[in-house]
Chain A
């Protein structure tokens, strides 16, 4: 008799109708959005602060470098000595005083610039000033050597090495960033999913034990059916929750940014400036084009299919282990000793993904970890956007499926014995004995 749909339905409905589940489903995006809004608002407050910087330029080489911007106003001081200037700036309560001492030639200017301020100045402010001065000095030096401004302008070259695989697959730097983003997102999603909903499965197995209904159920259905029903039902509830989060999050984000007029995509104007510079260099259109190009260059079909297989495979593998833990213990506090061996490979996978896949997606470490079943779902998902040979994907998937079958067998054994054991705190030795029952 196949009771699987019935069990899935019950598990799903109980989860979805549960009050705390409903509250979390609707509250989490609100909390997240509120958090983002607060952070964005605060950083905007910071950026809105107008800075007044006085400049005492005794060389007069650089006077016209300092153009006012929306949040920085430069005041040029003339005919003052340094001490008077400092006193004046302090009195005006300016952000700081930039002092360029009198020197004979342009070559010495660089060594004679100082910034005086009450508090230590912000790194970005100093970096901005340095950039301005550097540019001007370079131009002046070149001009001194007989290079015209036009020539300097003409000499600016922007290199973006075109990358192409032997098969003719084109890619670029921006492609790699997109690949990283896709891979990282997929891996991280799986990681979160396993942690949140694996725990939920474990708790629901423990609940059946503590409420003692398990023997009634188990006299009607096979333990493995019950276990699979639980895993699938809980996962569907998880997918539902995730979908609501995505939709709700999107809507709220739009609403909030419309209301507060905060452009969430750019956290600070300094970054905006940098972006603008980059954009100007490449041309906004070209940028957008290469972004689109990068996305279309991704092995989309492969990505989607692999994502489904590895996501489902990895999730099922871990959740059957979670179910086994739930069956082995009597209450949640006893789960600690068994959690570590499960979390370790998962965390390891994320670390390997973050630190080695970025560096070298096809290096030995990344490749090996994308085959080891407990880490492969996360690591492989991160590698796939960079193009992984089909045989590797298939082999890794086969290994994953084989391990999953073994894990289900193992979990079902533990489950069958464990769910009927009460009051015994199991040890690993005990679990090993259960396998032979």
Chain B
């Protein structure tokens, strides 16, 4: 088994509203899995099913090859989008309580907490009440509480909202570190730049259906249009331009460049290799810029959602 979590045609109805329609995902061990989708697509419902907060109407979910059982909550760390802490409880007490709810022994939880608090330089908060902390500070505590019991599966729902860029980076690094230590991460968001940075697998939900999933690179390959962004310089640019337009499908392009030259997106057939294009262009003009246009997660997201 290489997949830590497998959801098999999971459906969930709320009254007459179908929140999930036979959604299947497989999250490989040690991966960072992006669960993407517009608002109301069913991401949170799926996550809640994995956390056994709600039960699926149909379909099964397996963790590590076994159907979900109540004991599995020890193996999962969940940072929900709607998050908070008991405001009038002290930081240390609260973290201990939440850790014990996840099945940790008190002494172990204490020493692990000490480790994390030192690591994130928040050791002197132990006796503060949550209401004395800022929102970002409380989020840090929340993150520690989520990962404290060393779960196999970490689920983050919009983890970076509420963090300033410095702390967001800190948390991002910690997530990557946890992945390197063997944890599997499900990462739900609609902030595509963080998907680009973190995820190696994605699944896209839209209107309760899964419309796309797989390795991010494979998907990108699938979505690429054999388009190259080129910047050229020539004495007689008009004739060069005419010649290119004659031979290839051409779109205008915008990118930053030192020279005021020809900027184009050139789409080529699969019969032509990128080298052929490059040597053709080199024979006509001076090539300053030659990049294959790879669709961003954002492009894929928007295009797929639009087409559905």
* Contact (Cβ within 8 A) B80 A215: yes
Q: Which of A1-21 contact B (CB under 8 A)?
A: 1, 3, 6-7, 10, 14, 18
Question: Known contacts being A6-B97, A6-B101, is A213 close to B73, with CB within 8 Å?
Answer: no
Question: Known contacts being A215-B80, A219-B78, is A433 close to B15, with CB within 8 Å?
Answer: yes
Interface residue? B82 (CB, 8 A): yes
Determine which residue in B14, B74, B76 has the highest number of CB atoms from chain A within 10 A of its CB, and name it: B14
* Contact (Cβ within 8 A) B88 A420: no
Question: Known contacts being A212-B84, A420-B53, A436-B15, is A219 close to B89, with CB within 8 Å?
Answer: no
Contacts of A416 in B (CB 8 A): 54
Interface residue? A211 (CB, 8 A): yes
Q: Which of B127-182 contact A (CB under 8 A)?
A: 142, 145
Interface residue? B71 (CB, 8 A): yes
Question: Known contacts being A212-B84, A218-B53, A422-B82, is A6 close to B15, with CB within 8 Å?
Answer: no
Contact of A216 (CB < 8 Å), options: B14, B71, B83, B103: B83
Interface residue? B9 (CB, 8 A): no
Q: Which of A199-235 contact B (CB under 8 A)?
A: 207-208, 211-213, 215-222
Contacts of A218 in B (CB 8 A): 53
Q: Mark B3-38 against chain A: 1 for CB-CB distance below 8 A, else 0.
A: 000000000001100000000000000000000000
Interface residue? B219 (CB, 8 A): no
Contacts of A217 in B (CB 8 A): 98, 101
Q: Mark B52-63 against chain A: 1 for CB-CB distance below 8 A, else 0.
A: 111000000000
How far is A219 from B156 in the complex, measured between Cα atoms in Å? 13
Contacts of B79 in A (CB 8 A): 216
Give B106's nearest chain A residue, CB to CB: A6
Interface residue? B102 (CB, 8 A): yes
Interface residue? B225 (CB, 8 A): no
* Contact (Cβ within 8 A) A3 B101: yes
* Contact (Cβ within 8 A) B100 A219: no
* Contact (Cβ within 8 A) B15 A213: no
Contacts of B255 in A (CB 8 A): none
B contacts with A, residue count (CB < 8 A) = 31
Contacts of A222 in B (CB 8 A): 70
* Contact (Cβ within 8 A) A215 B83: yes
Interface residue? A428 (CB, 8 A): no
Question: Known contacts being A3-B101, A220-B101, A437-B15, is A212 close to B82, with CB within 8 Å?
Answer: yes
* Contact (Cβ within 8 A) A1 B83: no
* Contact (Cβ within 8 A) A213 B100: no
Contacts of B74 in A (CB 8 A): 1
Separation in Å of the B249 CB from the closest CB of chain A? 49
How far is A18 from B88 in the complex, measured between Cα atoms in Å? 9
Contacts of A211 in B (CB 8 A): 84-87
Question: Known contacts being A218-B53, A220-B98, A220-B101, is A14 close to B89, with CB within 8 Å?
Answer: yes
* Contact (Cβ within 8 A) A219 B83: no
* Contact (Cβ within 8 A) A219 B87: no
Contacts of A207 in B (CB 8 A): 86-87
Contacts of B83 in A (CB 8 A): 212-213, 215-216
How far is A18 from B129 in the complex, measured between Cα atoms in Å? 13
How far is A212 from B51 in the complex, measured between Cα atoms in Å? 17
How far is A7 from B101 in the complex, measured between Cα atoms in Å? 8
How far is A111 from B80 in the complex, measured between Cα atoms in Å? 89
Determine which residue in A211, A220, A436 has the highest number of CB atoms from chain B within 10 A of its CB, and name it: A220
A contacts with B, residue count (CB < 8 A) = 26
Contacts of B48 in A (CB 8 A): 420
Separation in Å of the B87 CB from the closest CB of chain A? 5
Contacts of A213 in B (CB 8 A): 83-86
How far is A14 from B83 in the complex, measured between Cα atoms in Å? 20
Separation in Å of the B270 CB from the closest CB of chain A? 48
Q: Which of B209-263 contact A (CB under 8 A)?
A: none
* Contact (Cβ within 8 A) B82 A14: no
How far is A7 from B86 in the complex, measured between Cα atoms in Å? 13
How far is A207 from B87 in the complex, measured between Cα atoms in Å? 9
Separation in Å of the B136 CB from the closest CB of chain A? 15
Contacts of A1 in B (CB 8 A): 70-71, 73-74, 103
Determine which residue in A208, A212, A219, A416 has the highest number of CB atoms from chain B within 10 A of its CB, and name it: A219
Give B97's nearest chain A residue, CB to CB: A10
How far is A385 from B210 in the complex, measured between Cα atoms in Å? 66
Separation in Å of the A269 CB from the closest CB of chain B? 52
How far is A208 from B85 in the complex, measured between Cα atoms in Å? 8
Contacts of B51 in A (CB 8 A): 219
Give B71's nearest chain A residue, CB to CB: A1
How far is A221 from B102 in the complex, measured between Cα atoms in Å? 8
How far is A3 from B101 in the complex, measured between Cα atoms in Å? 6
Give A10's nearest chain B residue, CB to CB: B97
Separation in Å of the A1 CB from the closest CB of chain B? 6
* Contact (Cβ within 8 A) B82 A221: no
Contacts of A14 in B (CB 8 A): 86, 88-89
How far is A222 from B103 in the complex, measured between Cα atoms in Å? 13
* Contact (Cβ within 8 A) A216 B70: no
Give A213's nearest chain B residue, CB to CB: B84
Contacts of B101 in A (CB 8 A): 3, 6-7, 217, 220-221
* Contact (Cβ within 8 A) B76 A216: no
Separation in Å of the A421 CB from the closest CB of chain B? 10
How far is A6 from B70 in the complex, measured between Cα atoms in Å? 17
How far is A437 from B88 in the complex, measured between Cα atoms in Å? 33
11 A-B pairs in the complex with CB atoms less than 8 angstroms apart: A1-B73, A10-B97, A207-B86, A216-B83, A216-B84, A218-B53, A219-B73, A220-B101, A222-B70, A420-B53, A436-B15
Q: Considering the complex of A and B, which 8 residue pairs feature the smallest CB-CB distances, nearest first? A: A212-B84, A220-B101, A215-B80, A211-B84, A219-B51, A219-B78, A213-B84, A212-B82
- A212-B84, A220-B102 given. 17 additional CB < 8 A pairs? A1-B71, A207-B87, A208-B86, A211-B86, A211-B87, A212-B82, A213-B83, A213-B84, A215-B80, A215-B82, A216-B84, A216-B85, A216-B145, A219-B53, A219-B76, A220-B98, A420-B48
